[in-house]
Structure 1
């Protein structure tokens, strides 16, 4: 989107360079099962400032004294975890890049999460794009004057706190086989923490531990990457490990309840030029006559599952649990990144770190390029110049 960088990048791009880029990205880690785009995004200062302003409005909502009261019904009764803390440690906000009525680029909020994203991988990704494509030093994926060393130090503060690295573990259901395993490996390299599957963790009383070289090591913190929606009714997974809903002597980074509090559920409370009009379906006074301009989303799903893009009146009337759905005005992505064969749509994820008792800090970003009907891997399988990437900005 910064024209000079885009023109230069496209002129010097080659498939050979792209293969070299992917090889360096995976080297020493693991094969990446999701598509990484051929190019980074070059974010202009005007769009960067709008993203910062949009993010600040959402942070202000989350910091309202009544935010927990507003979002109490967001947490499914069967997934409430005790000992919730006062704040999340991660905030991620997804924005589609559009054009306003003046033809200027502007962000529109798509979704938000109080849950970690690819905080390790994105740092590696930005560094690798710059190295392989010989991009100018003044380009950075970081906000707020942060550099790589400062970013890793802040990530370490958030994840480790006052604990030793061996007392903290990144946990997912089957961590080595997750699609995001490369992020786990990069994070472990940065922070020195263990990567554990749910089955690697055992419970004794209220304590959790793992075994290493025949020794029991007590866990004090879990960097949680497990999404309860993935478990569903398969709670037998907890039998040989532990149930997160029990009273436990453990610190959650971040506490699982925040995954629900900061989510699609939060969207109707946000009134902003950067957020599309959103309604809880059970609070809708009448069905809009221009349904072609709306999308219907279930509250309790992830990765775009269950979303109805071409909404009809019958779809709304057929919903049995309207309190668990939202109707949201569509966001019209603009194909603003110029690939060699045309424009590509963009989504930018702002990624914050929120150290305990301190201020949230906008640190880094994640971006997705798309030519399909929706952003996401499953909708872009047959295209090139799509996939995960990062926005680079001038320092």
Structure 2
């Protein structure tokens, strides 16, 4: 990444500074982080930032097309369709692998996208933690559009809470206290004052939803900040519930569940850009590509990297019973472009661009970013066990 500031950071790094960062991350939201925090942020040079912003614009141009809802209607499994769909998602995430272009320069390549929330509060704390404990360039920022910390939190409050009282807004999850990303739930609660609630605790009376607070009061639910992933929910037949999310109620979705499917791997074949690897629905290919070794097989309805086949064979394709539920995406090679120390082994990264989209906004607004640093074959916890200078990070972008 940015060679000058990277060298300066590495030269000034000490284990004591890193431990101070971890102390902040493990105490600020009331519980330790359950995943690995990387030793360093990523300094993104201006030329790469400009490419990423162009890539974001290319994708947004498709998502804002008047016919996008028609194009994405088959993305939602019929048994998971939820009523009262919003005109567009409240939250958007674009994940880019950082690769090498034909001319040798760094370039982003879209790996996945989601019409779903991400770690908006955790990432902000992480950026503040790096800023507090390390000497970072003042004019490099993790937020976009010229907003400062206060404006960022105000935007999130506007999108999630709106005009409701915080106690009438819930963050909805399945057993939130057991989720690996729960640190972000506690951050959301700290800054917004909402109620973090398991679906099993949601009560229903006709079209009204409510919960019972710690004092035994019946508290109406007006808005639901949805963090439930149906892939997990479908595996939880044991979870008691008075409301199954598919019946019409008077509470408003903050991040409607249908957009989790509409903007997902299902969207990739619709995107044509130098920053999007060629992608096809498996069902629309008359025959497999001749260079199958250069393609990745991905199931549409499995998440967190589950079911992805990197080394695809013709036999794999022939045994698939429902090819309409799979895509083939051209492989990209992440570049190990991040210098690290202890040990001195370069790392690769994936950058998530995090957006918000209010109903009266013409298009989504980019606000923050998330970075995962890896030294393994792929980006993910199981590929980086026992490694250092990997894990959760954030980008500071050159102006």
Q: TM-score range by the shorter chain?
A: over 0.9
Aligned to 1:6: 6
Aligned pair partner of 2:233 in 216, 231, 234: 231
Q: Tell me how far 1:152 sits from its aligned partner.
A: 0.6
Structure 1 runs of 4+ with >6 Å offset: none
Q: What TM-score do you get using the length of structure 1 for normalisation?
A: 0.98
Aligned to 1:383: 387
Aligned to 1:89: 90
Q: Tell me how far 1:139 sits from its aligned partner.
A: 2.4
Aligned to 1:354: 357
Cα distance between partner residues in 2 of 1:176 and 1:234: 15
Aligned to 2:198: 197
Q: Tell me how far 1:165 sits from its aligned partner.
A: 1.0
Aligned to 1:217: 219
Does structure 1 retain, via aligned residues, the 8 Å contact 2:297–2:326?
A: yes
Q: Tell me how far 1:5 sits from its aligned partner.
A: 1.1
Cα distance between partner residues in 2 of 1:233 and 1:377: 22
What do you get for the CA RMSD once the two structures are aligned?
Answer: 1.1
Cα distance between partner residues in 2 of 1:149 and 1:50: 28
Aligned to 2:317: 316
Count of residue pairs the alignment pairs up? 394
Aligned residue for 1:342, secondary structure, equals coil
Cα distance between partner residues in 1 of 2:347 and 2:338: 5
Aligned to 1:37: 38
Does structure 1 retain, via aligned residues, the 8 Å contact 2:38–2:392?
A: yes
Does structure 1 retain, via aligned residues, the 8 Å contact 2:36–2:392?
A: yes
Task: Trace 1:14-29 onto structure 2 (pairs within 5 A).
Answer: 14-28=14-28, 29=30
Gaps of at least 5 residues in structure 2 are none
Cα distance between partner residues in 1 of 2:196 and 2:26: 18
Aligned residue for 1:139, secondary structure, equals coil
Does structure 2 retain, via aligned residues, the 8 Å contact 1:158–1:356?
A: no
Cα distance between partner residues in 1 of 2:242 and 2:56: 38
**C-alpha distance after superposition, 1:206-245 (max 9, x if no partner):** 11101121211100100000101001243442x4331100
Does structure 1 retain, via aligned residues, the 8 Å contact 2:41–2:130?
A: yes
Cα distance between partner residues in 2 of 1:123 and 1:140: 11
Does structure 1 retain, via aligned residues, the 8 Å contact 2:231–2:303?
A: yes
Does structure 2 retain, via aligned residues, the 8 Å contact 1:21–1:128?
A: yes
Aligned to 1:367: 371
Q: What TM-score do you get using the length of structure 2 for normalisation?
A: 0.97
Aligned pair partner of 1:393 in 378, 393, 397: 397
Q: Tell me how far 1:249 sits from its aligned partner.
A: 1.1
Q: Tell me how far 1:247 sits from its aligned partner.
A: 1.2
Q: Tell me how far 1:394 sits from its aligned partner.
A: 3.2
Cα distance between partner residues in 2 of 1:169 and 1:40: 32
**C-alpha distance after superposition, 1:167-225 (max 9, x if no partner):** 11111101122111110111111111111111221111111101121211100100000
Gaps of at least 5 residues in structure 1 are none
Does structure 1 retain, via aligned residues, the 8 Å contact 2:38–2:373?
A: yes
Task: Trace 1:128-167 onto structure 2 (pairs within 5 A).
Answer: 128-167=129-168
Are residue 342 (structure 1) and residue 370 (structure 2) matched? no
Cα distance between partner residues in 1 of 2:286 and 2:189: 50
Does structure 1 retain, via aligned residues, the 8 Å contact 2:96–2:352?
A: yes
Aligned residue for 2:120, secondary structure, equals coil
Cα distance between partner residues in 1 of 2:358 and 2:151: 14
Q: Tell me how far 1:162 sits from its aligned partner.
A: 1.9
Task: Trace 1:56-71 onto structure 2 (pairs within 5 A).
Answer: 56-71=57-72
